[in-house]
Amino acid sequence: MITLENVSKSYTNDGTPALNNVSLHINKGEFVFIVGDSGSGKSTMIKLLLRELVPSSGRIIVNGVDLSKLRRGKIPKYRRNIGCVFQDFRLLKDRNVYENVAFAQRVIQTPTKKIKKNVPQMLSLVGLPEKYKSKTKELSGGEQQRVALARALVNNPPILLADEPTGNLDPRNSWEIMKLLEEINRRGTTVLVVTHNREIVNAMRKRVITVKKGVIVSDEEKGEYIDD
């Protein structure tokens, strides 16, 4: 489903590469943690997968699409296969919960009838069916992240990227979000979670890829968070 072949990414011509000759393969339906310190190259990896950046060398293949050969005009369609959630939620503060989730469908021209059917379903999945009218600023951090998850999933993408999804949440809400991600994975979505949360990584016993200074230093099934 996701393959990186000898991928390197440098932001400057002479500087240290953010990613250095990274190769990995993630199968369809997997749940993978990507862990590492700040500046280790995790965010660069996410940006490469989203085709916000192009690798300096190497190949990235997602869902059979070679990203180095992807034309600019095809990028939007490609991104519809990837749902994303972030540490800072990135919700639209001037709109309510329903509108935030519907937004993801509106911008890809989904018919209104379908939107009216899909959005309540997604809000039920993330446990917020009764909050559809609430403004996002009235919600707790955990609830905001659930809305972000509903928005990421409403277009039914086969892959979900979560960049520090629990970074702004207390332990209880962090666990709830992780359980939700596990449930989403159980339903068939491939889930990649970039995190610093040692407790969660160690408790969930999933595949853990550890990145350090742009290099994969460990890749273990049912792995643990490795300290420096």
Q: Which of positions 69-108 make contact with another protein (CB under 8 A)? A: 73, 76-80, 84, 90, 92, 94, 103-104, 106-108
Q: Within a 10 A sphere around the Cβ of 162, how many other Cβ atoms?
A: 27
Q: Which is nearer to another protein, 114 or 205 (CB)?
A: 114
Instruction: Tell me if 116 contacts another protein by CB under 8 A.
Output: no
Give the Cα separation of 34 and 108 in Å (integer): 29
Applying CB under 8 A, what is the total number of residues that bind another protein? 21
Q: 136, 145, 155, 173: which one contacts another protein (CB under 8 A)?
A: 155
Torsion angle of alpha carbons 23, 198, 175, 122, nearest 10°? -20
Among 28, 2, 31, smallest CA distance to 195 is for 31
Residues numbered 30-69 forming contacts with another protein, rule: CB under 8 A: 50
CA dist 214 → 10, 20, 39, 145, 210 (Å): 10, 5, 8, 28, 10
* Structure-token pair, residue 117: 């059917």
Nearer to another protein, 156 or 202 (CB): 156
Which residue, 94 or 130, is less far from another protein as judged by CB? Answer: 94
How many other CB atoms sit within 10 Å of the CB of residue 206?
21
In angstroms, give the least distance from the CB of 88 to another protein: 9
Residues at the interface with another protein (CB under 8 A): 50, 73, 76-80, 84, 90, 92, 94, 103-104, 106-109, 111-112, 151, 155
